[in-house]
């Protein structure tokens, strides 16, 4: 606990010193050196020439934020997990017979037209987003219709495209409707790439790359996801389910054009009909597993998936989440990973309903930081959108 109390103090101190640099850029060097020495931070950094206020702020953070002195050995991660199906967004929408119209955001997708409008809205900004698709049958019909498009191609990750018309694709994948490797029609083989998906599963997979760490993952893990996970990721039997949750990842490349829209940055638009993660169904399994696993660090994510749920369910699950976090021993840090959201009321509840005070650290990008500020009436909340490159994580 003392370690993390010290880390928190260092974080607040970094913010204070950064503000000092920002608000008083012309503060005499002697005063800054005196402050630095009094804080016992070692020799004061001497910038090579004029430095912007932003540069001074970055320098303050770099000097004050250090890695924890003690390494973690056991990490517990929950509670959202799925299989990501990655493909070209423009090609999929073309396969659905859609044309680029007026871009418009939708908090929840109810139809193919909603999908098209939301996709081009974010593609034009080069911004990432994730939305819930409300109709189960329509969700599966979208992928099935794309598989029958005669000139379909799938853009795979790492900017590598494979023409699959009349050819055997070197990559194959499964889909729960038929259990086969690919959907086939008289003229087309429409292939997908499958990846570990869901922030919790992705973070767990990243931790598992370190052979010295033991990783517990709690989330709705189906057979395909279980197959994709690293052998070093332990999934309790209570987290296993018969059917995977699939999320469609519509990618676009920097400079890619569709009608009047041109993507300024490469990014992705995610949508799904995911009820298990939406209800945070594995929260109780996650919490009950902690006592036996005895983690040094807890990483929590998946709150954004509740956007497709009723307000009553959202409030109920947030209260249960806060209660669960409160049961975690005080000496174990809890990291909360946020994600793209549109429901300001839900985000405001996350901020004000004792979730933030219960966690040690946050993970979010610039878009999510602006949305958080807008939901809580914080600084720069009057900005309509983030105009920078929204691909730098902040923690």
Report how far residue 221's alpha carbon sits from residue 237's, in angstroms, rounded to the nearest whole number: 10
Nearest-angstrom CA–CA distance, 230 and 239: 16
Round the CA-based radius of gyration of the chain to a whole number and report it: 23
Q: Which of 64, 84, 104 is the last residue of a domain?
A: 64
- If DSSP codes are grouped into helix, strand and coil, which group holds residue 323? helix
CA distance 118 to 130: 10
- Structure confidence at residue 366 (pLDDT): 83
Residue 279 makes CB contacts below 8 A (sequence gap 6+) with: 306, 309, 313, 317
Residues 52 and 108 in one domain: no
**Three-class DSSP category at 194:** strand
pLDDT, one tens digit for every residue, the chain (395 residues): 444 444 455 555 555 555 555 555 555 455 555 555 555 445 555 555 667 776 777 788 787 777 777 788 999 999 999 998 888 899 889 888 899 999 999 989 999 999 999 999 999 999 888 899 998 889 988 867 555 544 333 333 322 222 322 223 333 333 333 333 333 333 333 445 788 999 999 999 999 999 999 999 999 999 999 999 999 999 999 999 998 898 888 999 999 999 999 999 899 999 999 889 999 999 999 999 999 999 999 999 999 999 888 899 999 999 999 999 888 988 899 999 999 888 899 999 998 877 888 898 899 888 888 888 888 877 776 776 655 544 433 34
42 and 88, same domain (yes or no): no
Tokens of 157: 């990750």
Which residue's entry shows tokens 């001074």? 56
Say if residue 182 is in the same domain as residue 237.
Answer: yes
In DSSP notation, 56-104 reads: HHHHHHHHH----SS--SEEEEES--EEEEEEEHHHHHHHTT-------
Could you tell me where the beta strands, DSSP code E, fall in 99-232? 108-109, 129-133, 154-156, 160-162, 183-184, 189-190, 193-197, 214-218
Q: Are residues 60 and 141 in the same domain?
A: no
Q: Among 64, 79, 104, which residue terminates a domain?
A: 64
Cis ω on the peptide bond leading into residue 188 (within 30° of 0)? no
Look at residue 179 in the predicted model and tell me its pLDDT: 33
- Indicate whether 160 and 21 sit together in one domain: no
Residues 124, 7 share a domain? no
Distance CA 214, CA 196 (A): 18
d(C-alpha 68, C-alpha 332), whole Å:
13
Check whether residue 90 and residue 55 sit in a common domain: no
Same domain, 211 and 276: yes
Cβ atoms of residues 34 and 254 within 8 Å:
no
Please identify, among 39, 64, 89, the residue that sits at the C-terminal boundary of a domain.
64
Assess whether 59 and 80 both reside in one domain.
no
Give the pLDDT score at 62.
80
Using alpha carbons, list the distances in angstroms from residue 323 to 160, 326, 343, 352, 354: 46, 5, 23, 14, 10
What is the pLDDT at residue 157? 30
172 in the same domain as 96: yes
Is residue 173 within 8 A of residue 87, CB to CB? The reply is no
pLDDT of residue 182: 39
SS3 271: strand
Q: What is the pLDDT of residue 34?
A: 54
pLDDT recorded at residue 368: 86
**Statement to judge: residues 27 and 122 lie in one domain:** no
d(CA 187, CA 144): 14
Residues 47 and 179 in one domain: no
Expressed as residue numbers, the domain containing 26 is 2-64
Residue 346: predicted pLDDT: 92
Strands 233-234 and 214-218: parallel
CB count within 10 Å of CB 43 equals 8
List phi, psi (to 5°) of 18.
-60, -45
pLDDT at 143: 64
Decide: residue 167, CB within 10 A, 0-12 exposed, 13-18 middle, 19+ buried.
exposed
Round to whole Å and give the CA distance between 203 and 77: 7
Q: At what angle do helices 53-64 and 2-23 cross, to 10 degrees?
A: 160
Q: In the prediction, which pLDDT does 23 show?
A: 53
Q: How many domains does the chain have?
A: 2
Among the listed residues 232, 244, 242, the one whose alpha carbon sits nearest the alpha carbon of residue 192:
244
pTM for this model (two decimals): 0.69
Q: How far apart are CA 342 and CA 324, in angstroms?
A: 25
């Amino acid at each position: 606990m003392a370690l993390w109390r010290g880390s928190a103090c260092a974080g607040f101190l970094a913010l204070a010193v950064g503000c000092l640099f920002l608000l008083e850029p012309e503060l005499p060097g002697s005063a800054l050196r005196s402050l630095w020495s009094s804080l016992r931070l070692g020799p004061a950094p001497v910038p090579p020439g004029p430095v912007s206020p932003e540069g001074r702020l970055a320098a303050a953070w770099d000097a004050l934020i250090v890695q924890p002195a003690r390494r973690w050995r056991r990490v517990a991660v929950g509670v959202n997990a799925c299989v990501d199906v990655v493909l070209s967004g423009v090609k999929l929408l073309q396969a659905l017979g859609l044309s680029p119209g007026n871009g418009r955001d939708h908090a929840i997708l109810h139809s193919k037209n909603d999908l098209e409008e939301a996709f081009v809205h974010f593609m034009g900004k080069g911004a990432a987003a994730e939305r819930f698709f409300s109709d189960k049958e329509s969700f599966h019909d979208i992928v099935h219709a794309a598989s029958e498009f005669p000139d379909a191609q799938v853009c795979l990750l790492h900017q590598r495209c494979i023409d699959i018309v009349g050819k055997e694709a070197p990559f194959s994948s499964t889909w729960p409707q038929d259990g086969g490797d690919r959907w086939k029609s008289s003229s087309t083989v429409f292939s997908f790439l499958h990846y570990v998906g869901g922030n919790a599963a992705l973070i767990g997979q990243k931790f598992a790359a370190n052979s010295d760490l033991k990783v517990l993952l709690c989330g709705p893990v189906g057979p395909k996801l279980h197959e994709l996970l690293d052998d070093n990721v332990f999934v309790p039997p209570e987290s296993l389910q018969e059917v995977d949750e699939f999320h469609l990842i519509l990618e676009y490349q920097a400079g890619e054009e569709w009608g009047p829209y041109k993507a300024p940055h490469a990014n992705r638009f995610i949508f799904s009909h995911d009820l298990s993660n939406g209800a945070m169904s594995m929260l109780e399994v996650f919490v009950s597993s902690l006592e036996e696993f005895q983690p040094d660090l807890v990483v929590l994510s998946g709150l954004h998936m509740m956007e497709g749920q009723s307000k009553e369910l959202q409030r109920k699950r947030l209260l249960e989440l806060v209660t669960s976090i409160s049961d975690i021993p005080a000496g174990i840090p809890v990291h909360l990973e946020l994600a793209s959201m549109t429901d300001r009321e839900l985000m405001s509840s996350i901020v004000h309903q004792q979730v933030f005070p219960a966690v040690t650290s946050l993970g979010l990008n610039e878009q999510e930081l602006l949305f958080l500020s807008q939901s809580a009436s914080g600084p720069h909340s009057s900005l309509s959108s983030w105009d920078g490159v929204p691909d730098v994580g902040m923690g």
